[in-house]
Amino acid sequence: GENVEQHPSTLSVQEGDSAVIKCTYSDSASNYFPWYKQELGKGPQLIIDIRSNVGEKKDQRIAVTLNKTAKHFSLHITETQPEDSAVYFCAAAQRGFQKLVFGTGTRLLVSP
Amino acid sequence: KAGVTQTPRYLIKTRGQQVTLSCSPISGHRSVSWYQQTPGQGLQFLFEYFSETQRNKGNFPGRFSGRQFSNSRSEMNVSTLELGDSALYLCASSSLAGGETQYFGPGTRLLVL
C-alpha cells in the first residue's frame, strides 16, 4: 500500500522567513496530494492541494510543487507569520478512492 | 455553509464498553470518511461511506464499524473498547466520492480508562 514520508518533523523559523516541508510517496497510482494545517484542539484544515496533472500551485503565501518522477511534493510558505505556527500534514490519495494516507506531520514554529 | 460537525466532542469510557460517535457532513456532501489520530500512529483511515454504502475500509479490527444514513449523516461504533482506542476520531466530508477534497470536522476525543 501507499506510504508517505514527511520531513522535517519540527521546523523553527523567524517571522518573515520561508518554510519548506517535503514529502515523498511510494505508490505511483496516487494522483491527489493535499496539505492540511492542524492547530491545537482542532481538526485538520485544508490549506492547498494539487493533482498529478499540475506541477505547481500557488495561493498567496502558500505554494505546493509536485515531482511525479521522483514521487515527491513540497509545501512552501513565504513571509511566515506567528499565526502560521501549527502542525502541517501532507497526504496522498488515488483517483477513485477517498482514503487519504498521511505523512507523520511537521510542527512549524514561527518566532516573532 | 456550516462545516462538518461531530458529537460529542469529548467522551470518557471504560474498557469493555462500546461507544457511538456522530458526524454531520457539510450540506450537500454525500461522502463521509472517518480517521483515527493518535500520537503514535498518526492519522489513519478507518472507512468511507457514500450514499449509505461503505466503499473503502482501512486496516482496523472488526470492533470498528460505521454506517451512513439517507441524509448523509454518519455514525461510527467501537465495541469492546481497549485502552489503545483512546484517540481523536475525525470525520471528513466531500461532495463526491473518489479523489475529491475532504473537509474535516473538529473531532471527538475519546479517552478509554
Cell of A19: 518554510
Residue that is written with C-alpha cell 483515527 in the block: B36
Counted across chains A and B, CB pairs separated by less than 8 A come out at 65
> A100 vs B4: CB contact, 8 Å cut-off?
no
Phi, psi of A4 (to 5 degrees): -120, 125
Query: What confidence score (pLDDT) does residue B17 get?
Result: 98
B3-B6-B7-B9 Cα dihedral, nearest 10 degrees: -100
For B104, other C-beta atoms within 10 Å of its C-beta total 24
Q: How far is A80 from chain B (nearest CA, A)?
A: 24
> B99 vs A95: CB contact, 8 Å cut-off?
yes
Q: Are the CB atoms for B79 and B18 separated by under 8 Å?
A: yes
Query: Mean pLDDT, chain A, as a whole number?
Result: 94
The pLDDT confidence band at residue B63, using thresholds 50, 70 and 90, is very high
Phi, psi of A108 (to 5 degrees): -100, 125
User: CA of A69: how far to CAs of A42, A94, A97, B7, in Å?
Assistant: 34, 16, 22, 42
Query: What confidence score (pLDDT) does residue A97 get?
Result: 77
Helices (H), chain A: none
Higher model confidence: residue B22 or residue A29?
A: B22
pLDDT tens digits for A41-85? 899 999 999 988 889 999 999 999 999 999 999 999 999 999 999
Q: Are the CB atoms for A94 and A29 separated by under 8 Å?
A: yes
Q: Are the CB atoms for A43 and A53 separated by under 8 Å?
A: no
> A100 vs B35: CB contact, 8 Å cut-off?
yes
Query: Which chain B residues contact residue A34 at CB under 8 A?
Result: 101-102
Over residues B61-76, the mean pLDDT reads 97
Query: Mean pLDDT, chain B, as a whole number?
Result: 94
Among A99, A101, A104, A106, pick the best mutation site for testing chain B contact (most B Cβ within 10 A): A99
pLDDT(B99) > 70: no
Residue that is written with C-alpha cell 460505521 in the block: B66
- Report the distance separating Cα B30 and Cα B33, nearest Å: 10
- Report the distance separating Cα A59 and Cα A22, nearest Å: 18
pLDDT(B100) > 90: no
> A98 vs B90: CB contact, 8 Å cut-off?
no
Which residue of chain B is at minimal alpha-carbon distance from A91?
Answer: B43
Q: Which of B24, B33, B4 is nearest to B106 (CA)?
A: B4
Query: What confidence score (pLDDT) does residue B84 get?
Result: 96
> A46 vs B102: CB contact, 8 Å cut-off?
yes
Higher model confidence: residue A19 or residue B2?
A: A19
